[in-house]
Structure 1
Amino acid sequence: MANFKIPSPKTTAFVAVLSAIVGVKKYDTYRADSIRERIKAEASVKAKEPLDPMALPTKVIVYLTPPPGDGIHKSRIYFRDFVKPIFDAGALDYDVIEAKEAGDIHTAVSQELLERRRDQIPAPPGTNHTTSNAEAIPPSPVQKIDVRTVPKIAIGRQVLAEIYNGLSEGSTGSLNITPEPVPDLVTEVAAVTDATTEQTTEATDAADLFTETAPASEPEPFLEDPAAATPTTATTNTISPPSEPPVDYDALDTGDLPLLPVVGFINFKNRIGWLSMPGRILGFFNTAPQVEKIGEQALSIVLEARRPFRNPEDLYRGQDDDVAHGLEPKDIVPVVMEPRVMDNLVVFDVPKCPPGSEHV
């Protein structure tokens, strides 16, 4: 004890500040884990429900896209840390689809709806056109999931806007298929070139050096072959595939809307840039409100809390994500939806934000 010295004021201050920082983070982690476990316990009620032997488990499709100005890895980490634990606790089956570029989700969703509308059109008289899957494929005792009606979950405002636009375009757009140009089937015959002839002659001369000279004989008369005298040239034969008259789907369309999938939404605010550094530091030490907010949104999807689409509440949902990303008006994806699509659309209910998480 004689050699014990009291720490200097600087050392004491450093240890005190470091302990406070570590303590704040530890406390935030404890709160976040407690909230996550509570939400997982509520979601596990759905997993414990008995399932009919002939029924299929609930399944959703989760769409991810690179957040503005960042990479797709941010979306993967966000889904893994905040959404996936709740889905797993509720035994929710899900597929994750990642978009490489903006507009890919819009195109994929619209094509699914267009295919469903074509399937609903009866076969035109006098044609072999089969549009219904039930007519083309024999009935199977095993029930299958139609991915075109599986609920679609949007992670972030940008994905939600593309899903809305894809649903509207696929439900009301033209059904006619634009024919793609068919490439010509070309059959080519290799041409005999002078270089090939020279190589063959040199190889023959080299081989004659190692063989005995045959006795001389009278040369046979040279018969000129017009076909052989003319070097072979490349010929092109175009084979046209048999063409069938295109089906005018628009003339056969009844105008009825297809069965629309349920749409779910989960906020995703990815702050980047030096100006957002203070907010990111604050968020690092205060993740509990975000865990609660996103967890409640995922829980409503697990518990299948569905309701009709509300305009304009659901139309403009998630615009605070665009504000957090600092997007310019020209970079924001506009939403264009037909009124009758909104009238028939069903969405997962988004719970109210917990206190203190409105700006998370």
Structure 2
Amino acid sequence: MADSSGSAPSGATKPQAPPKPPNPVFKMMGLPNMRFKLPSRNWMIFLTITGSFAGAIWYDRREKRRAQQKWCELVSHLQDEPLPVEEMRRKLTVYLSAPPGDGLRTAREHFKAYVKPILTAAALDYTVVEGRREGDVRASTAESIRKFRRRAGEPSSAPEEEGVEAAILATRQHIGVRDEPGPKGDLVIGRHTWREYIRGLHEGWLGPMDAPAPPTEPTPEVVAEETLKDVASGDVPAEVQSNPDNSPQEKQDEAPKEDKKEEEKPAKPVGPTPAYISPVDYASAQLPRSIPQSFEASVPVEFPHILGFLNTPIRLYRYLNQRYVADSIGREVAALILANRTRPYRDGSSGADSQWTGADANLTPLGDDSASGFERSNFEQSAVLEEEEKDWHKSVYKREEGDERERVWLDDIVIDPRIASRMKLAVLDPEDEARSKRLAEEEEYILGRERPPPVSFWQNLWIKYGNGEDEETRRRKPIYGNIDEEDA
């Protein structure tokens, strides 16, 4: 009988090989035995999702920088133009306000991210008009126009300004400093700011110079005198007939009680300065003598902004596609800075292909009596950036009980033809549009300059995060001689 103890079982597996000893170098460094192997299924899913999202962000930010660089190079030649010492740099006006349902910080970040780099590249001066709540930009725009009318000699009972701005203006006039000749312009950010800008233009040019007197309530003495006159004439109210013993003196005694009840009511929300004129009075208002034949060019800039947790997919899509916003805003800002072409805003009588006019063209405005012959809803100004209203928070559309203030964001836009015909829109010249495409393809560079040689990736890191210097900085760096007269 054969001994089966020495024979191996048929189903036995082959013994595993002993693990490979770790690299002695890793062992001396105190590192574990690192084995290179494919990650597991769960790690592959995680790395794929995070890597794709990180790659989408990197690609979008790179294209965003390229788009901004293209428009910055298009206007950078303006900073090399000489300026006499007695002239101030051409200045633009930027209007921005807090978006509906959010704070002013969001609007400031939007301005710094998309608009300010191009203004800085052109070395232009600008004034920012901010609004923290609804109606602030409207009041600021109207007040600036009224100041212009006062300086033009229109009579007003308002006291003259004695602030810092007036002192600086008087000093510049005294020493002969003037503004740089050339077109200026207004840059309006967002649909909500555009609504207030249009309302402020109408209020400033069509409204009175002085604020209208607030409605006065009759005093108790006047009420008592009117009651006695009604009694003498026989027109006695029903309350007096039912209470013949109710004397005016008793009404005066009851007045403090009513005042106490009114004090207990919640106070109405405090808003900006009330408007000097209502939109229903535009047609009957007369144009002032100081109104120009055409206003400075204006450019509305988009401001995509949406709130809410349920809108996270939309917000995520916009976060990954900022390059399109940068390119669109850069084109509008560059058109206002270069100011080579403008066109009037279209009305219902003009077609889509309006003729372009030069920056120095004189637009023929409508007459003073032409306000009644146009459809107010046909003007292009009322439809500018209208798609942004769909993203406004629902709290904007709520009206509080007892709040009778004007809602510029919600009310219909009323446009007077005499004001609309004087407004101009800055557009990009076809030659500048073609040059911007050549700049994007690196076929051209800033006017009057040569494109610098390309810098390697590692050298760029050393310049940006290390102690290196680029060629432009090294060229502008002053070189001092042997000041101490020491031997080299």
Regarding TM over 0.5, the answer is yes
Residue 346 of structure 1 aligns to which amino acid in structure 2?
K
Match of 2:427 in 1: 349
Question: What is the CA deviation profile of residues 255-280 of structure 1, one whole-angstrom value per residue up to 9, with x for unaligned ones?
Answer: 43523443222111111112321011
CA distance in 1, matches of 2:307, 2:179: 39
Report if the CA contact (8 A) 1:157-1:267 is conserved.
yes
- CA RMSD, aligned part only? 3.6
Task: Select the residue among 297, 303, 313 that pairs with 1:278.
Answer: 313
**CA displacement at 1:156 relative to structure 2:** 0.6
Q: 1:329 to 1:351 in 2, by over 3 A?
A: farther
Which residue of 418, 443, 447 corresponds with 1:340?
Answer: 418
Query: Number of residues paired by the alignment?
Result: 274
2:185 is matched with which residue?
Answer: 151
| CA offset digits 1:293-343 (Å, max 9, x no partner) | 111111112112433333322332111221233567785353222211111
Which of 289, 292, 304 lines up with 1:256 in the alignment?
A: 289
Residues 6 and 106 from structure 1, CA distance in 2 versus in 1: closer, same or farther, beyond 3 angstroms? closer
Relative to the length of structure 1, the TM-score reads: 0.66
Q: Please, which of 49, 60, 66 is the counterpart of residue 34 of structure 1? A: 66
**Paired residue secondary structure (2:62):** helix
Q: Does 1:294 align with 2:326?
A: no
Closer, same or farther in 2 for the Cα pair 1:91/1:334, shift >3 Å?
farther
For residue 53 of structure 2, what is the amino acid of its counterpart? I
- Structure 1 letter corresponding to 2:336: I
SS of the counterpart of 2:174?
coil
The offset of 1:281, in angstroms, is 0.8
Aligned to 1:22: 54
Aligned equivalent of 1:313: 380
Matching residue of 2:207:
173
1:269 counterpart SS class: coil
Measured after TM superposition, the shift of residue 36 of structure 1 is 1.2
Correspondence for 2:91 among 59, 66, 86: 59
Residues 1-360 of structure 1 mapped to structure 2, 5 A cutoff = 2=20, 3-121=35-153, 140-144=174-178, 151-178=185-212, 255-256=288-289, 258-259=291-292, 260-304=295-339, 305-311=341-347, 312-325=379-392, 331-349=409-427
For each residue in 1:220-239, what CA deviation from the matched residue of structure 2 results, as whole angstroms up to 9, or x when unmatched? Answer: xxxxxxxxxxxxxxxxxxxx
- After superposition, give the CA deviation of every residue in 1:197-218 in whole Å (9 maximum; x if it has no partner): xxxxxxxxxxxxxxxxxxxxxx
Contact in 1 for aligned 2:191/2:302 (Cα 8 Å): yes
Give, in angstroms, the shift of residue 169 of structure 1.
1.6
Q: 1:98 to 1:176 in 2, by over 3 A?
A: closer
Q: Displacement, 1:350?
A: 7.1
Kept after mapping to 2: 8 A contact 1:106/1:163: yes
TM-score (norm 2): 0.50
- Alpha-carbon distance in structure 2 between the residues aligned to 1:272 and 1:350: 32
Assess, with a 3 A threshold, how the Cα gap between structure 1 residues 53 and 145 changes in structure 2: closer, same or farther: closer
Structure 1 segments unaligned to the other structure (5+ residues): 181-252, 353-360
> Structure 1 residue 176: deviation in Å?
4.1
Q: Is the contact made by 2:191 and 2:385 (CA closer than 8 Å) also made in structure 1?
A: yes
Q: Secondary structure at the match of 2:187?
A: strand
- SS for the counterpart of 2:382 is coil
Q: Percent identity?
A: 24
Following TM superposition, by how much is the alpha carbon of 1:67 offset from its aligned partner in structure 2, in angstroms? 0.3
Give the superposition deviation at 1:31: 1.1
**Compared CA separation, residues 315 and 58, structure 1 to 2 (3 A):** farther
C-alpha contact 1:297 1:351 (8 A) present in aligned 2: no
Tell me how far 1:96 sits from its aligned partner: 1.7
Q: Which region of structure 1 is more displaced relative to structure 2, 97-106 or 170-179? A: 170-179
Alpha carbons of 1:284 and 1:254: their partners in 2 closer, same or farther (altered >3 Å)?
closer
Equivalent residues of 1:113, 1:258 under 8 A apart = no
Letter in 1 for 2:315: R
Higher relative contact order (CA 8 A, sep 6+): 1
| Alpha-carbon separation, structure 2, partners of 1:286 and 1:58 | 33
How many angstroms apart in 2 are the aligned matches of 1:122 and 1:114? 9
Which deviates more from structure 2 when the two are superposed, residues 170-179 or residues 6-15? 170-179
CA distance in 2, matches of 1:285, 1:342: 37
Kindly indicate whether the alpha-carbon contact (under 8 Å) linking 1:322 and 1:332 is maintained by their aligned counterparts in 2. Answer: no
